[in-house]
Amino acid sequence: MKNVFIILSSVILSVCFTACEEELEIWDSATYEYSGRWHFKAMGENGQILKEYGNHTIQTYNSANDVSDELWIYDVNNVFAAKEDSEGERTGNIGGIKIKSQLEGDYSNFHSVDNSEEGAGLNASGYPVPGVAPGEADEDVPAEDDVNVIPYYFNKGTVLEGRILEGAGTSKSGSPVDSIYLRLKLFAGEIVYNSVYDAENESYVWDSGEFSYYAQPDSIVIISGTRYTGFEEDEY
């Protein structure tokens, strides 16, 4: 009986050790110090609050290359998603943020290698799709000739300044947690959609859209927040 107990104990310990190793492999990455899920608020450079703390988070994580100088920044809940009214007109200024940036520095003080529009990371959230079909917004414009222009869409982004500080933040319940600070530059322009004929559905639809960059509406957005704990008392 004693031998059976020893064997069973060895098996259990072996399974636990293996499971821990597998979990470590999943979570360990070249950007481990940068990675996390964060409650956040967003401000303009003038201090104007764009979004207060709430039921939304942002994620930072490694790229598929898993190298120490590439980081994804992802607005999970699409807080800054492009908005349109019932007629398909643009009503917001900030597109959903999902950018990959090549970094310099370390997690306590970092920035993008290239802060120009040419070097900025593409917004992988994609373009906002027009809310109305060709020919529906204006009855005087036939579907085959319709054009839809969505201005002030932020198609690229770069990190001007970033910091992740251990234990420097305070969770909603008052516990010390890591903090994050990101000063992002978002590059603006317009997307032009043209109607094309879809033979399969025998109707006019929008093409994939073409982005044109222009500098005037570029914007600085500051994101500050605290690490997500998963505890109910820290939820907003």
181: domain CATH number is 2.40.128.220
Q: Supply the mean pLDDT for the chain.
A: 82
For the segment 3-24, the average pLDDT, to the nearest whole number, is: 36
Handedness of CA 22, 24, 26, 28 (dihedral sign): negative
Which 8-state DSSP code applies to residue 104?
E
**pLDDT of 16 over the 50 cut:** no
CA distance 33 to 227: 12
Looking at per-residue pLDDT, the higher value among 93 and 54 belongs to 54
**pLDDT of 74 over the 60 cut:** yes
Same domain, 21 and 105: no
Looking at per-residue pLDDT, the higher value among 89 and 67 belongs to 67
Same domain, 126 and 10: no
Same domain, 24 and 35: no
Same domain, 21 and 56: no
Contact 104, 113 (CB under 8 A): yes
**pLDDT of 110 over the 70 cut:** yes
For the segment 169-190, the average pLDDT, to the nearest whole number, is: 94
Best CA proximity match to 189, nearest among 101, 87, 82, 98? 82
Same domain, 50 and 21: no
Output the CA angle 211-216-218, nearest 5 degrees: 70
Helix ranges, the chain (H)? 2-27
Contact 115, 121 (CB under 8 A): no
Same domain, 13 and 63: no
Report the DSSP beta bridge partners of residue 196: 205
Same domain, 15 and 98: no
**pLDDT of 34 over the 90 cut:** no
Q: In this structure, how many other beta carbons lie within 10 angstroms of the beta carbon of residue 70?
A: 18
Chain CA centroid to CA 57, Å: 9
Same domain, 138 and 47: yes
Torsion, Cα of 184, 152, 96, 113 (10° steps): -30
Domain with 219, as residue range(s), is 31-234
CA distance 153 to 93: 6
Same domain, 106 and 11: no
Report residue 83: phi and psi, to 5°: -115, 145
Question: Which span out of 14-28, 30-44, 61-75, 172-186 was modeled with the highest average pLDDT?
Answer: 172-186
Handedness of CA 87, 91, 93, 99 (dihedral sign): negative
Which 8-state DSSP code applies to residue 145?
G
Same domain, 129 and 20: no
For residue range 120-179, list pLDDT tens digits in order.
Answer: 988 888 777 788 999 998 889 999 999 998 887 788 899 999 999 999 999 999 999 999
Same domain, 124 and 138: yes
Q: Identify the weakest region by mean pLDDT among 6-15, 105-114, 212-221.
A: 6-15
**pLDDT of 60 over the 70 cut:** yes
Same domain, 90 and 160: yes
Report the DSSP beta bridge partners of residue 61: 72
Task: Say if strands 70-75 and 57-62 run parallel, antiparallel, or are unpaired.
Answer: antiparallel
Best CA proximity match to 51, nearest among 37, 63, 40? 40
CA distance 191 to 197: 19
> What is the tally of structural domains in the chain?
2
